[in-house]
Every structure is written in structure tokens, then in C-alpha cells.
Structure 1
Amino acid sequence: MNDRRLTRTAFAFAFAWFCLTGVSTQAAEQTNFLVILADDLGYSDLGCYGGEINTPNLDALAAGGLKYTQFYNTARCWPTRAALMTGYYPQQVRRDGMPGTTRQYGGGGKRPDWALTLAERLRPAGYRTYHSGKWHIDGKPIEHGFDRSDEATRSPGFFDSIRKKNRDPKFYRTTATAQHAIDCLQEHGELYPEQPFFHYLAFHAPHFPLHALPEDIERYRDRYLAGWDALREQRKQRQEELDLGVGELSPIETEVGPPYDFPDQLKQLGPGEINRPVAWDTLTEQQQRFQATKMAIHAAMVDRMDREIGRVIDQLKEMGEFENTWICFLSDNGASAEIMVRGEGHDITASPGSAETYLCLGPGFSSAANTPFRRHKTWVHEGGTSTPFIVHWPKGIGSSDERRTNVGHAIDITPTVLEIAEVQPKFGDAPPMSGRSLVPTFENEQAVIHDELWFYHEGNWALRQGDWKIIHSNIARPFPWQRSETAANESQGDAHWKLYDLSHDRAEQHDLADQHPDRVKQMANRWWELQGQFLKDSTWSIGKAVGSN
């Protein structure tokens, strides 16, 4: 048979196969993507990261894939989502503030036109794109590259609004978010089997208000009566058994409470609430039960999220796409020390965790959720910025059930997905992405992706270079707009940096700044150099700090 006849025969076979199966050879080779994001999840909340909460589905993904121990977010929800979806630091795309700009706080900025979402980059390459759950980025998902989107919002909480006459008693946001993802996948399999897909599954859980199904709460109701001190010790012991290599256990900072102060709202929560993580045995029995119940609800929310992820995974398996789908999981920031009453208010007589209540985890059990690290969401210490990061992709990664110590960040997800999808991003006049592809780390724990990582959020500054990290931070502060002079308005020479060697001190307990002043100066100068670059990238106007004269 000559070459021409061979080619025609091969084409005819391929065409016949397509007619029978609806799957092209090219589509069969293209990887699908499922990016799963949790909200306010602590570093140690998952079983595979030392937690006691039942998370068998995420644990199975880690066992069948890779588990990263030095992966970072931005310490807050909206900046991390912008970083994940664009590949840039949020300050580069106007989604978080920084010193020297008219917007030093908050996430109200509009992205530059060049700051495309990952979905906008994938769709021209033939991908169907889906979003389920929380968004919290400027614009709407379907305006920025997504074919389908549903935020599963019925109220400020996780249940249907208590103010509706015809409330749906079966609605629960975490379940609804997963169901939308399943519906999208089912539709994809039926209508678009020839196309690969990208699905961004962003759960609201376990963000406050602490709302959970009664049967889920019941599984953990008495589990936490021993308190946060005991829980931290138990989780740290399991982390050692899992060989996570995360170092010593930081002591609880009893003077550090919520990042924002709401004394009137604290009173609404009753005598069981406290805003400092004091020693457990100094609490009254009423306070211990109240705090343990809050942690039980938090655990129930994580448990339910894992169960719903399991349903999504079952759908992928039913479609025959599980092996060929790159799945990653992370959290947008560390566990939260916040305490407030928002939304539809708090009824002190209602059952904790129900729609009529508005509870937050608070600094005590937030410290336990972030074991073994220091501080919480909003701070740029390890407790605020370290996240579990799981990657699972059987068809593309030869290793499984392995730890990765490579340093990575949420900005790396977009370039990683683009490399795997073989999509070459076009930048034009835009700056290159700050994120780097994680692909080299899949098989090589020694691969260095970042020489440095930059952090800033609400007056909290940090830079990591190799194993060295400098931090300048406040302990307690009012809302940004209530400040007249803040750390964010300090000049370069005024910042009081602390220096830590994370290779021996992930708990950030031993300040080495006095021993290495030259290193501190070099790193501080570099922080400001990057700030200047990000200011240029974002094209924000230069202005005074909020409230300054």
C-alpha cells in the first residue's frame, strides 16, 4: 500500500471512530482541568495534613497524587482568587492595595483589560469552561470566559434566606455548589464530548457564618471539648507521623485576637464568646461548650465539602475522565480569627449552626486549624498564607502519594494549566506573569520555581527568598478606613522587619534580624523594588494613604 492510500485509510478509520464515539483523537489527548478552592480552610484541617476531620476524598487525591507542604496564597479571599485566575500578584491587577497607591485596602479594583482570566485564555483553544460557587473577582464569570456559572447564593449564609416566605428546607450552599458542577459535567459529557473542559469549583465553606447540616454537626458535637491546646498537640503529632516536615509547633499568641474589633457585635453572641485564645482551662464550662460547638460546626462544614467533592469525582469517573483530569485543591487563606455578626443576624436562642445564627471560628480554634503555624487569615505569617495543595493527574504524573517541598503560590496555577493545555499566552503590552508553571515539580522535588515570593495585605508585609523570610506586621488593628496613620503609609526606612529562617523555623519564633542586618536591608530593598514594579504594572495612580493628611 502506497503512502497516499495509507493516509486515506488512516483518515477513514479515524473518521469512523469519531462517528461511533463522538470523541476526536485530538480531544482524547487533551487534558481536562478541575481547580477546587476552599474558603478559610486551615493548613491542618484535612486528614492528609494532620487533621482529625473526616476527609477521605481529598485524602485519596493526595494518596494518588502529590501533596505540597510549602504552597502559598495571599492571606485573603479576593486577592487569592485574582492571583489564581490570572497568574499575577493581585496588586499587579488592581485586586488588592499596597503602599503608594490611592487604593491601599480592599478588593474593589477593576482589573486592567490585559489581565485575562484563565478561562478567557483556554476557551479560544477549544475548552468548555465552567464555574461553580464563589467568585469575588471583578465582573461576572460569564463576562470573563466562562460558558456556565452559578454562585449558589440564596442568602448571606449557607441556607435559604430566613426572610423568605417559601424557604427551601433542603437548600445547603455546599451541596448546591457541587450539584451545579455535576450538572455542568453531565451536560458536557452529553453535548460536548469532543471538547476538553476547565471547571473552577470554588466552595464557600468553611467561611463564616458557621452553618452546617444538623447530621454533620452531630458527628463532631463533643469532639472538641478538650480544647484548642490539646487539638494543636494532636494535629502536630499526626503531622510528624505523616512526615510533613513542617517544623516545631508555634505557641498560641494569647494577645492576638480578631484582626478587626467589633465589641458591640461580640456582645450579641452572648457570654460563651471570647475574642482571645486564652488557656482552655481558664474558660468557664459555658465558654468551653460554646467554643467546642463552633469548632464542631467548622469541622462539619469541611466534612460536607469533602463529601460533595466525592460526588464530583464520582461524576468524573462515570464519564471516564477521572484519569485524564488534572485536579488541584487549595485554600484562599488560612483559618480565620474574625468574630462578627453580619447577614441576617444572630439569634442567641437558635440552634448553633442553623440559618438563624451567625457564628465565626475565632482565634482559639483558628490557631488549631492553622497548626503548626503562627497567626491567621489577613496576616502574612505562615498561618495566614500557607495552604494545603494537592495535585492529582494519573495520566500525566508518574508519582503518587509523595510529598513535595517545592515553594509555590496561587499565581502558579494559571501558567501550570496553560502549559499542560499547550496554550501559549499572548501578552502584548502586558507584563509577563509572575506565576511559574509547576510542571517541573511533578517529578522533581528539587526543582526551584520561585527565587522569591512577595506578600502584602492591609499593612502586613513579607518577602520570602529561598528559606529566608522578612515580615513587618501589626498585631491588632481597626478597619483600614478607621486609621489615620498605618504601617502601609510608612516610608522604606521606617519598616521594622523581622527575619526568619524557614528551613529551621516555619513557626516564625526566632527573629534573626539583629544577627543578619545586611540580609534584612537587602530583602527590604527588594520588597520595595517589586512594589515599584507592581505599581507600574497596575497603572494605579499614586496617592496618599486612606485617612492621611
Structure 2
Amino acid sequence: MKKYLAGTLIILSVLGFSLRESTAQSNKKPNIIIILVDDLGWGDVGYHGGNIPTPNIDRLAKQGVELNRFYTAAVCSPTRAGLLTGRYPDRFGLRKTVIPPWSDFGVSTDEVFLPEMLKAAGYKNRAILGKWHLGHVSLKYHPLNRGFTHFYGHLNGAIDYFTHKREGELDWHNDFNSSYDVGYSTDLIADEAIKNIRSYHKESPFFLYIAFNAPHGPLQAKEDDLKRFGYDATKPSFPNGGKEGDEGRGNTKQQTYAAMVSNLDANIGRILKTLNDLKIDQNTIVLFQSDNGYAPNEAGSSGILRGSKFTQWEGGVRAPAIIRWPQVFKGGWKSEQVTGFVDVFPTILAAADVMEKPKNPLDGINVLPVLKQKQSFINRNLFLGDGVLVNRNWKILEKLDQNSGMKLKSDVLFQIDRDVSEKNDVKDQYTSTYQLLKKDLAPFNAIKATAEVANFDVGKKGFVAPKEWKVEK
């Protein structure tokens, strides 16, 4: 009898430990991985009917929630800033263009970045891997002074994929130091992500912001990837007009772009496999998104959407996006919730159970209730900049002087839930809705910043890049 009782106690003890361990796992804060890709168009992914095979991204879409109405800014620096602050980039002067190499602009240090908030919530390791593009002339703008504990990648955009140079100088860094790592930048970023995941998961929950520069120009691919799309080394490469990025050009832009996207997809697959191998995928949030639509004249596709990068047509601001968190919400469905880049900040904070309130009012909203299917949708207007507002049913585009990329003759209104390709202006049919949206737009158009990034070419003439893009002041 005593042996029986002793055995029973051992079994109960083991079961109790297992239950406590299971409970601890379910109560543990999630790991957070944001995979931001650069200039990937709506029609460049397989799950949107694209011609380039993207099996790993497609698999993620099947496993997670497809965010069918996810919006960004029309160019990349504003999207990155809004994602990391939860605020419209208009509030700190970064809506109309990116931060070019010759600019001294940086996102105001009055803005609180996402990793700063996650630090207080127990996220010891908070890394940015890849493209920064939010200020590079002063240490106060450096990622390691904006809440990140590790930086591996480049400060500027449009670097050479092989030499890692911009304006003739090496722009590849490991924390504050220059990195002389050799390799294709997409591969190196994924390598570092995998290395960090394997190291970080042993401690507290981690935050990785993986900002691939692919498939942004210059169009460059590895020869092995090019060969899978018919590359013939005996034929000439497409001309690039003497721009940076001479190595890795295929026979055509289309071939090179396809090889770049395919390589990007494979590297995303490597990262996801690492999560699965380490058995941490169930409680890891993975958000995948592009920063804007495809760049014109660089072989991408907006699919069924109108327009491209630099415009507020859907093809410029409606990005492929997926979120997966198996432990908390089921996947395999498509959300029509209007959401976007400024919602990442509050949604991630809610998922990480961060109780502290950011000091600046947020423009983004927490969309977790919709993702958990506890709420069917959240009514909201989302400001897309330059006199453009979108909600569940409607999208208004005002004719503004600064809206030259849109080439509008007058205001237009689309019933966007039924007219995704923006073919039919219904302003005259729905005059009351049009007037109401005009009124809703007014306070957004009135947003003024104390400082604004200058036009892209200001300061370019005569500019000489600093040695290895060292940030010292």
C-alpha cells in the first residue's frame, strides 16, 4: 500500500510539474519578430497570384492571418517611422520623402520607439537587423540610442547587395562598428537573425526587427538564384545607367527581380524553420509586411491594384501582410480589418502585456480583438497622407498641390470595399459620404511638424560620404 501511495505521489508530482510548466509557457510573454521587406509589391507574392514562386511566404499566409487591408506610407522611411512609433510620420516631418544619404534629418528624439517600450516589459534582447533609414548623421538617431540592444546592417537605403556600399563608402555595421562581413546582404541579414534567435530564446522573450533591403534596387541577385530563372552568362546583362550595383545583374530586370524575391523568400523560410526547430514557434509573433508598393520601372507588380510606390493609390500603400501567433489566435483566414503600419506599435504592446502608456498620443489602434476573433471589425479612418483617407468602405483622395504623384484633376471617391482597383469615382453619387469624409480629413491635413525632411535632392550636389559611414557626433 505504501509503495502504491508513493508511486501515486510521484505520478501526481510529475503531472503537477508538467501542468505548472505548461501554464508557465502559456503565460510567458511572446517572442516578437517583425519581418519588413522593401518595395515588395502586392502582386509579387504567390498567395496574391504572383508569377514569382514564394512558397515560404505563402505557407506563412496559410498558417497565419492574412491582413488583406494593411496600409503603409507611400515610401519607406515614413513607414518605418510610423511602425516604430505608432504615430503618423506627418507629426515629425517625415511623410513626403525618405531620408537620403546627404540629409541631416532624423526622427525626433521626442518620439518613443517600440523597443524602448518593450525594454520595460522584460524584453532584454531587442535587435534591428538590416535597413535603418531613420537618421544617420548623429549618434542620437542611431538604433542603439532608440531602444535597440543590437544593430547589424546599414544606415542608408539602396546599398549595393555585394559590396554593402552607399555613395562609394561601406555602410555595413555591427553595433557601432564597421562590419567587413562578406556576402549577399539578404543572406547575411537572415544569418544574423538565425544566430540571434538561437542565442536569445534561452533567456527572456526577445524582439527582432528584421528589415530586409530586398527587393529594393539596385537590382542585384546571386548567380545561383539567377540561373533558376533562365540566366545565360553568355548574354549581356541589362543596363543600369552607371548606377551603383554593377555586380549581380541578370539578363533582364524581370529575371533579376524574380531571383531577388525568390532568395528573400528562401531566407524567410530559414528563419521560420529555426523557430520550428527550436520549438518556439507557437509563442512567437511573426508579422510579415512590405513597407510600400513596388517601385516603378524595377520589375515588380501591384497585381490587381492600381498604382505603385510614391502614390497613394492602393498599389502604393496597400501592402502584402501576414501575422501569425499560433498559441493565441488561429490562422488560415483573411482579415478585412482596415489596419496598417501605425497599428503595429499598439498591437504589439497589447500582445506583450505592456501596461505603461507611451508619452505621446498614438494614431494607431490595437487590432488584437479582431485577430483573436472576439470582435468582427473596428470602425476607424486611416490617414494615408497627402489628403487621402480610407476606411472599411470608402477611400477619398483630395486634389492637393503636393499630390503631384497622383495627377488628380479633382477630388475622387471610391467605394473601396467593392472597387479594389479604384476604377470608378463615385463622388457625385454619394455626395453626403464625400462631404463627411472631407470633414474627417481636415484635422489630418492640418497636422504640422516643427521640422520636416527636405526634398530628396537638397544637399546632394557635392556631397561626400563619411568614411565607412561612421557616426561620431
Letter in 2 for 1:156: I
The aligned counterpart of 1:42 is 41
- 2:340 paired with 1:409: yes
The aligned counterpart of 2:414 is 500
Letter in 2 for 1:382: E
Is 1:408–1:450's contact at 8 Å kept on the other side of the alignment?
Answer: no
The aligned counterpart of 2:370 is 441
1:44 match: secondary structure: helix
Is 2:41–2:302's contact at 8 Å kept on the other side of the alignment?
Answer: yes
Deviation at 1:473, TM superposition (A): 5.8
The aligned counterpart of 1:384 is 316
**2:155 and 2:163 mapped to 1: Cα distance?**
8
**1:123 and 1:169 mapped to 2: Cα distance?**
29
The aligned counterpart of 2:469 is none
- 2:250 paired with 1:318: no
**2:162 and 2:242 mapped to 1: Cα distance?**
21
- 2:208 paired with 1:205: no
**2:230 and 2:374 mapped to 1: Cα distance?**
40
Is 1:497–1:520's contact at 8 Å kept on the other side of the alignment?
Answer: no
**1:461 and 1:131 mapped to 2: Cα distance?**
32
User: Can you list the C-alpha shifts for 1:59-105, whole angstroms capped at 9, x where unaligned?
Assistant: 1111111112111111110000011111111112332259xxxx9xx
- 2:227 paired with 1:218: yes
CA shift in 2, pair 1:31/1:164, >3 Å: closer
- 2:392 paired with 1:487: no
CA shift in 2, pair 1:454/1:373, >3 Å: same
- 2:119 paired with 1:123: yes
Match of residue 514, structure 1, among 428, 434, 443 = 428
Letter in 2 for 1:121: M
Worse overlay, 319-328 or 446-455: 446-455
CA shift in 2, pair 1:487/1:50, >3 Å: same
Is 1:406–1:448's contact at 8 Å kept on the other side of the alignment?
Answer: yes
The aligned counterpart of 1:423 is 354
**1:380 and 1:292 mapped to 2: Cα distance?**
32
**1:295 and 1:443 mapped to 2: Cα distance?**
39
**1:194 and 1:25 mapped to 2: Cα distance?**
14
Is 1:131–1:149's contact at 8 Å kept on the other side of the alignment?
Answer: yes
Residues 64-213 of structure 1 mapped to structure 2, 5 A cutoff: 64-97=63-96, 109-127=105-123, 128-138=125-135, 139-151=141-153, 156-160=159-163, 171-189=183-201, 193-213=202-222
The aligned counterpart of 1:356 is none
**1:113 and 1:161 mapped to 2: Cα distance?**
28
**2:205 and 2:382 mapped to 1: Cα distance?**
32
Is 1:406–1:446's contact at 8 Å kept on the other side of the alignment?
Answer: no
Is 2:69–2:337's contact at 8 Å kept on the other side of the alignment?
Answer: yes
Is 1:153–1:173's contact at 8 Å kept on the other side of the alignment?
Answer: no
The unaligned stretches of length 5 or more in structure 1 are: 1-12, 223-264, 270-289, 339-360, 475-485
Is 1:160–1:168's contact at 8 Å kept on the other side of the alignment?
Answer: no
| RMSD over aligned Cα atoms | 3.8
Is 1:469–1:499's contact at 8 Å kept on the other side of the alignment?
Answer: yes
**1:411 and 1:444 mapped to 2: Cα distance?**
21
Match of residue 531, structure 1, among 415, 436, 445 = 445
Deviation at 1:434, TM superposition (A): 0.9
**2:41 and 2:287 mapped to 1: Cα distance?**
17
The aligned counterpart of 2:289 is 330
Letter in 2 for 1:410: F
The aligned counterpart of 1:354 is none
CA shift in 2, pair 1:197/1:168, >3 Å: closer
Relative to the length of structure 1, the TM-score reads 0.66
Is 1:36–1:327's contact at 8 Å kept on the other side of the alignment?
Answer: yes
The aligned counterpart of 1:307 is 266
CA shift in 2, pair 1:424/1:113, >3 Å: farther
1:328 match: secondary structure: strand
**1:170 and 1:267 mapped to 2: Cα distance?**
26
The unaligned stretches of length 5 or more in structure 2 are: 1-12, 136-140, 171-178, 232-238, 244-248, 459-473
**2:418 and 2:251 mapped to 1: Cα distance?**
32
**2:95 and 2:103 mapped to 1: Cα distance?**
5
2:120 match: secondary structure: helix
**1:461 and 1:449 mapped to 2: Cα distance?**
22
Letter in 2 for 1:409: G
Is 2:34–2:210's contact at 8 Å kept on the other side of the alignment?
Answer: yes
CA shift in 2, pair 1:402/1:465, >3 Å: closer
Deviation at 1:321, TM superposition (A): 1.1
Is 2:164–2:185's contact at 8 Å kept on the other side of the alignment?
Answer: no
Is 1:405–1:445's contact at 8 Å kept on the other side of the alignment?
Answer: no
Residues 270-309 of structure 1 mapped to structure 2, 5 A cutoff: 293-309=252-268
Is 1:418–1:425's contact at 8 Å kept on the other side of the alignment?
Answer: no
User: Can you list the C-alpha shifts for 1:296-326, whole angstroms capped at 9, x where unaligned?
Assistant: 2111111111111111122222322111101
CA shift in 2, pair 1:171/1:152, >3 Å: farther
CA shift in 2, pair 1:526/1:123, >3 Å: same
CA shift in 2, pair 1:528/1:292, >3 Å: farther
Report the identity percentage.
30
**1:149 and 1:417 mapped to 2: Cα distance?**
20
1:512 match: secondary structure: coil
2:116 match: secondary structure: helix
The aligned counterpart of 1:62 is 61
Deviation at 1:506, TM superposition (A): 1.0
Letter in 2 for 1:306: D
Deviation at 1:495, TM superposition (A): 8.4
Letter in 2 for 1:487: Q
